Each structure stands twice: as structure tokens, then as C-alpha cells.
Structure 1
Amino acid sequence: MEIERKFLVDRLPEHLEQYDTQQLEQAYLCTDPVVRVRRQGDEYILTYKGKGHMVREEYNLPLNEQAYEHLLEKADGNVIRKRRTRIPWQSYMIELDIFEAPFEGLMLAEVEFETELEAVAFIPPEWFGRDVTFEKEYHNSTLSRKGFD
């Protein structure tokens, strides 16, 4: 089960260069339900996500590079490329995504939680912008279809 909140980012936090950053590439084989392939460094993953916004099922399966490339060719819509920076904050790990074209300028921060109660009680750092957890247009699966519907 994934319990996650998502926020727009108005401005980047200070000293961003001190944190680990990784390039991600992902594409969607289906958006209802969500079936995604992702390359993260030299790791390849097939993900299924159930319905929902803040709380939903999520299953990850490892892929090899050949399987990833094969499935990537079958993806619908945009291939999403972004730079992810993992920022420890209090007892949480913030995942800051800075998107590349065609979504250049979009910056989102995601935080995962152990419980729904913890997610609801979360007070974000001051550099977070609007909470878009329940706004479907900021889901990566929706972005993948942008311009194709």
C-alpha cells in the first residue's frame, strides 16, 4: 500500500547539490489501472498502481534492461523524464522531481507515510507549494497522456 502526498514546489530548497540525485525515465502501458515501466539508474521496474490519490495499492516487479526497452516501445503517450533528488527532512524522505521537456518548469515533491493519519497530519516545509495530492492532472500517469487525448 502506498500512502503519499504530493506538492507543487514554488522554489528549490537551499543547498540542493548536497543531496543524492538520480535521472528517471518512465512510461505508461496503461493509465487505468496504472501500469508503468521505469528506469532509475541501472534499475528497471514494472509498477502496478490501483485507484486512489493519497492511498492506493502499489506493486513493483524488477525488470531487466531488455524487457524494459521492449515494454517502453509499447508505451502510450509521453515518456516522462525527470531528475529526482532525495532530501531527508525530519523523519521523512522528500522526493523532489524536476521535470524535463515537455514538462520543463514543473517541480513536484512527494512524501510517503506509514499511515493515513500521519499523512493527514503532515506539515510540509516552507518551500513546498500547493498540495496537489487530490488533483489528478499532477499524476505522472495523467501527464503521460497530456496532448494525446
Structure 2
Amino acid sequence: MVEKAGGYEGSSVRPGKYARIERERRFLLAHPPAPSSVTATRAITDRYLVGTRLRLRRAQLPDDTCELKLTQKVPVPLPGAVQGLITNICLSPSEYDLLASLPAAELSKRRFSVPPLGVDVFDGPLQGLVLAEAEFTTDEEAQSFVPPPECVAEVTDDARFTGGHLVGASRRDLLEWPAEYGLHPEVP
């Protein structure tokens, strides 16, 4: 990340008190994880607020509770695990409902915890896409991470496989983008 006066290049957001550096690596998988390897599951609906860098998330947990969050992601145009800056705010149901009334593009998926990965199995137009991510606290952890064999291709540096881009992807994109990595999603 290139630091400039007042924040990072192209951003007025600075790491520290509110925003933190997000480090993650993303991978394409050919199939959802085996049920025996899953430690937790949640249904996630992300609403990308039109014209902003904001994402509204509703995560339904197995015990029928919900996590409601507003997230701002400020990406950096650099290769590697540092994705940019991220700020999260937990919301009450009424706060979520108010923000959910704003225009947004929606993305839904099931997230399976398969340590050390979070594996997203997408619904709707992206059905058939399976994407895993691993998060890290340091650059050294990210660089030394050896992905498990089920990770077919790394797409960390391919912005098309970020939620903000996937939310606008078509069925045709779903077939073409993974094919560039030798993967052909099972499309119903």
C-alpha cells in the first residue's frame, strides 16, 4: 500500500483506530467441501450499495441468530495478499433494515468453515462457483501459506473474484472466468 498524506493512495481512509489492513488469499475449488470437513456453516446475503464501497451483510447462523454488519472495503491496486483497508460496523436489526432500503446489488452464498479456509458456495446466477479464502494477520503468514490440494487455482490477484465484482457477474462470466484457470464449474 502506498501511503500518502491523509491516507492511502486513492483513499481518505487510514489504517489504525477504525480501519485495518485486510490480508487474504482466494482460491477456486472444483467442488464444495466434504460435509465431514465442515466445522460451521452460515447463509450469507451481501448487498453492495450502489455507487459506494459499502457492503451490507446478513449472516444467518445455524442457531437461527443473525450477524448484521456494514462493511467498507477500500481496495489497493497492488498484487498479493494485502487487499486494502476494511472497516466493519455491527448493526441492530432496525439499522440493518434502514440501510437495506437503499439501492443495492445482491449476492447470496453459503459459507463453510473448513479451517484454515472459508469456502463460499454461491447461489443464484453464480450457482456452481466455489471460492475459498484464507485470512492472515501478517504479510509473512500470507506469503508462507501453502493451500490445501483442493485449491485448484489461486485468484487472489484477479479482481473479478472479489464480491464487489462477482455481484455483477453473469452466467456467461461464471463459465468463462474459471475456464481461464482450467476449471469448468458444474452448472445446473
Q: Percent identity?
A: 31
2:33–2:119 CA contact under 8 A, matched in 1: no
Cα deviation, 1:55-93, whole Å, max 9, x if unaligned, reads 11111001112222222232333x1110001112xxxx3
Aligned to 1:8: 28
Aligned to 1:74: 102
State the secondary structure of the residue aligned to 1:137: helix
Partners of 1:114 and 1:105 in 2: how far apart? 30
Greater Rg over alpha carbons, structure: 2
Structure 2 residues not aligned, in runs of 5+ = 1-20, 61-65, 171-188
2:68–2:90 CA contact under 8 A, matched in 1: yes
Structure (1/2) with the larger strand percentage:
1
Per mean C-alpha deviation after superposition, the further-off stretch among 96-105 and 50-59 is 50-59
State the secondary structure of the residue aligned to 2:25: strand
Partners of 1:123 and 1:18 in 2: how far apart? 19
Partners of 1:146 and 1:12 in 2: how far apart? 20
* TM superposition shift of 1:105: 0.4
Aligned to 2:167: 144
* TM superposition shift of 1:31: 6.4
Partners of 1:16 and 1:81 in 2: how far apart? 23
Aligned pairs for 1:96-135 within 5 A: 96-135=119-158
* TM superposition shift of 1:129: 1.4
State the secondary structure of the residue aligned to 1:39: strand
State the secondary structure of the residue aligned to 1:57: strand
Partners of 1:46 and 1:31 in 2: how far apart? 15
Aligned to 1:38: 57
Runs of 4+ in 1 over 2 A off after TM superposition: 11-19
Partners of 2:70 and 2:144 in 1: how far apart? 31
Number of aligned positions between the proteins: 141
Amino acid corresponding to residue 121 of structure 1 in structure 2: S
Is 1:62 the equivalent of 2:90?
yes
* TM superposition shift of 1:13: 3.7
Partners of 1:144 and 1:12 in 2: how far apart? 20
1:31–1:142 CA contact under 8 A, matched in 2: no
Partners of 1:26 and 1:127 in 2: how far apart? 26
Per mean C-alpha deviation after superposition, the further-off stretch among 45-54 and 123-132 is 45-54
TM-score, length of structure 1 as denominator length: 0.85
If asked which structure has higher relative contact order (CA below 8 Å, sep 6+), I would say: 1
Cα deviation, 1:22-81, whole Å, max 9, x if unaligned, reads 10011111566x21000012110000111226311111001112222222232333x111
1:132–1:138 CA contact under 8 A, matched in 2: yes
